[in-house]
Structure 1
Amino acid sequence: MIPRDVFSSQSKFDADFNYLYPWGTDHNGASRMDKAHVSIEYSSNTLTLAADRVSGQPPATHGGKQIPINYLAGTVHAKEHFSVAPTGGYDFEAEFLAPVTRGTWPAFWLTAVDGWPPEIDLAEWKGSGKISFNTFNTSSQVSAKDVNYPSPGNWHKILCELRDLNRADVGIKFYMDGQLVTSQVGKGFVGKRMWFVINLQMEGSSGTPGPNGSRQS
């Protein structure tokens, strides 16, 4: 389990998190991840992920397609795998100050260790001024809920409760600022191992072109 004060010291961070994605530096957007774009403010127990526009990077490959890399950015993932056991569950809770500018694509999510799916987007922002809560049972069977993200300049608390429903399926309840937003079901998710990722991806599903100039975080 990840302690609430995991970002209060480098040693605590190192005990529970690694830099980058579990599979490396690239994924499905225009950011290439590197350690230099992750910072931790120990006194406030705060993780900050940043992105800077770059040029001259070789493209990424995802789904058989090449993706231009236009940014270097920050991502971390938990060392622990999370698997909802029969009769069990997890709570994932954090406070976020998230950008909603077109081309910024931060996410707080779970994804399969072995193959894909499952995937649960505990919170995702896709440059539209909204926040998304999603559960992927397959690439075409997706439960998705987009709602307005109020006052992006303020902190907002996200809570996701994962619970075994019937020794096969996982129920997910998504809360923002203490209010239930939506409930979804992950079919056959019980016992499936998942990575926990916090990342600042860019462009991709959040639109192009992404922001120029000042650092995004």
Structure 2
Amino acid sequence: INTNTIKHSRSALNSIVRFEAHDSVTSAARFLRYVNEDGKTSLRLRIDQMPEPIYHAKFVERPGLYDPNGVSIESDSPYRKGYFLVRNSDNSITLAQNDGTESFARRATFYKVSGLNDSNHSSYQVYDDPTRYICHSNNGLRAEVVSDYNSRGRATWKVRAENSPKLGDRFDGSSLDTSKWRKGYVWGDSHNYSAVVRDSQVVVDGGELILKAERVNSIQNSKGEWGYWNNIKGRWTSYKFKTGAVSGVSTSGWNYTLFNGDVYLEGSFKLPSEYGFWPAFWLNCKDDWPPEIDIFEYLTDNPRYMYTVFHIKTNGQDNSRTEKYHVGEIWKDYHKFALDWNSEYVAVYFDDHVAFYNNDKNYIKGFYNLYTIINLGVGGWAEEPSGSTNYAEMKVKYIRSFDY
């Protein structure tokens, strides 16, 4: 191997990656993942609409087991730790458990080089046969001799690596990190629901971000208004609560953490059980509306279902798409929600399973300059809390995002 052709630095290793076929023959992105077939573990190319969880499609590039200048590719699944891609005697490539032998180490070592069909991507050369590369073949993997345009395409992979953190917070301090977040909204202290946002309702404690909603006798927003017109319900409603929200904008300098695609954004949330609340994790545009991506909107008066909503502007009008999906007794524990957004597709995941998938490239182009908002709404799209409900809270364990 000519080490000058190795594309990526050693510092990029030990990152979580996903392998997308560069020459996808369908309009949907296809990812390498392991599947269980007839009691055996197989490697297949699948789109993310399939029912398998996303961790089946996540791997970790380790320093080569036989040559640390190479790479060995380990499954990131909690059920396949210690399993690596290996080349077999028939040149098939499978996922197998490391048995600690020299033979296994050699067969599990590859060299990562610039993509044979596109230098912006990557190819993987077999350690002990430099004429062969990892290629997808009939939705599986083989170590093939690359000799023409078609085989170069099958040997080229878009590697989506979680190695460039953009926005991350584990809320392990005693106050909100103002280099990442601003309490409230950038436009004011109210937003389409029956509460006014107050800084006092945002707390960081015990490794959690806590947004608190508390009933008040009466409260005005910054415009001097005592309530709002609820367009969803078609009625005027008074403000009855003070509540919390945070936006992905630094408190000093108004520095937005903006997303324009090629990003994976994830958070872990514990949602309220009380009736009449509307917690949400969403992305809003810095410059206009729409676009907007609602990773989740939860109406606690319909507690076993979740909503994901996309908004773009088409001919000057809102063009929205909504997915409603079952989540069970979600209020009992923390649950993970994630957004995977790139030029090929936008997907939303609930506990690592696909909840919403859109690969309409013209639609996806409508998303731009989006920043993160987490809020605990009251009423609004949800029904109003009962008169005996005085308090609810939404907790966040972490937020993390990666460019790729």
Per the normalisation by structure 1, the TM-score is 0.84
Distance 1:67 1:188, change over 3 A: farther
- In the other structure, the counterpart of 1:71 is 241
Structure 2 alignment gaps of length 5 or more:
1-165, 221-225, 250-255, 394-404
Q: CA RMSD in A?
A: 2.3
- 2:384 maps to amino acid: T
Q: Residue 54 in 1 paired to residue 223 in 2?
A: no
Conserved? CA contact 1:33–1:73, under 8 Å: yes
Secondary structure in 2 aligned to 1:141? strand
Separation in 2 of the partners of 1:214 and 1:66? 21
Q: How many residues align?
A: 205
Superposed CA offset, 1:41-71 (max 9, x none): 2x42x11111011122232456998642111
Superposed CA offset, 1:79-127 (max 9, x none): 124231xxx5111111111125431000000111112100100111012
1:176 to 350, 353, 363: 350
Distance 1:211 1:117, change over 3 A: farther
- In the other structure, the counterpart of 1:164 is 343
Q: Residue 110 in 1 paired to residue 275 in 2?
A: no
- In the other structure, the counterpart of 1:132 is 307
Separation in 1 of the partners of 2:230 and 2:286? 17
**Percent identical:** 21
- In the other structure, the counterpart of 2:89 is none
Structure 1 alignment gaps of length 5 or more:
166-170
Q: Residue 2 in 1 paired to residue 192 in 2?
A: no
- In the other structure, the counterpart of 2:365 is 188
Q: Residue 204 in 1 paired to residue 380 in 2?
A: yes
Secondary structure in 2 aligned to 1:2? strand
Shift of 1:4: 3.9
Separation in 2 of the partners of 1:148 and 1:100? 16
Secondary structure in 2 aligned to 1:146? strand
Q: Residue 216 in 1 paired to residue 380 in 2?
A: no
Separation in 2 of the partners of 1:201 and 1:182? 23
Distance 1:211 1:107, change over 3 A: farther
Secondary structure in 2 aligned to 1:216? strand
- 1:146 maps to amino acid: K
Superposed CA offset, 1:163-186 (max 9, x none): 123xxxxx3211111111111354
2:204 to 40, 50, 53: 40
Conserved? CA contact 1:55–1:69, under 8 Å: no
Separation in 2 of the partners of 1:194 and 1:211? 36
- 1:197 maps to amino acid: I
Shift of 1:212: 3.1
- 2:238 maps to amino acid: P
Separation in 2 of the partners of 1:15 and 1:62? 34
Superposed CA offset, 1:169-215 (max 9, x none): xx32111111111113544335x212310000100101124563442
Per the normalisation by structure 2, the TM-score is 0.47
- In the other structure, the counterpart of 1:168 is none
